[in-house]
Amino acid sequence: MTLAKIVYASMTGNTEGISEILEEKLKAAGLDVERIEADDAESDVFADADIAIVATYTYGDGEVPDELEDFHDDLSDEDLAGKIYGVVGSGDEEMYPDAFCKAADLFEEAFEATGAKKGSATVKINNDAEDEDVENLQKFVDEVVKA
């Protein structure tokens, strides 16, 4: 069975909710899913996964959250060739227009260095997921599953 792993960080719950939506949709597509909170994620967490997903909010001014910093630094050294990756970000578009969901972009760069294949365009969500975002998450899941 195909295994998808979702590593997520969430301070106020928005990204956690997004990760739950992803889990639900991946399961509905027939996949095994593991959702791993940032503090529990070792850099080799995706070694046994077919699909590697990171869901992250953005902190500071366009920075990866503290609890994902080491994970992000080490991820690019992993060999994830043959796997599919996808990234979902939550940020605040009004408050941080120039750094909106920048952490998601930084994870995309790290995944590119691993040799994994991008399964779908990064989804960026303004705070918590609304109806339109849920549709975009469905599209994201459909694409990573068939990539």
Ligand X SMILES: Cc1cc2nc3c(=O)[nH]c(=O)nc-3n(C[C@H](O)[C@H](O)[C@H](O)COP(=O)(O)O)c2cc1C
Please report, as ranges, the residues that interact with ligand X according to CB under 6 A: 10-16, 57-62, 90-92, 96, 99-102, 127
Say which residues have a Cβ less than 8 Å from residue 90's Cβ, sequence separation at least 6: 10, 14, 15, 18, 55, 56, 57, 58, 101, 124, 125, 126, 127, 128
Closest to ligand X by CB, 6 or 84: 6
Min dist CB 2 to ligand X, Å, is 26
Angle between the 66-75 and 102-114 helix axes, to the nearest 10 degrees? 30
CA distance 110 to 127: 23
Closest to ligand X by CB, 100 or 140: 100
Min dist CB 38 to ligand X, Å, is 10
Which residue sits closest to ligand X, CB atoms considered?
91
Min dist CB 94 to ligand X, Å, is 9
Closest to ligand X by CB, 45 or 96: 96
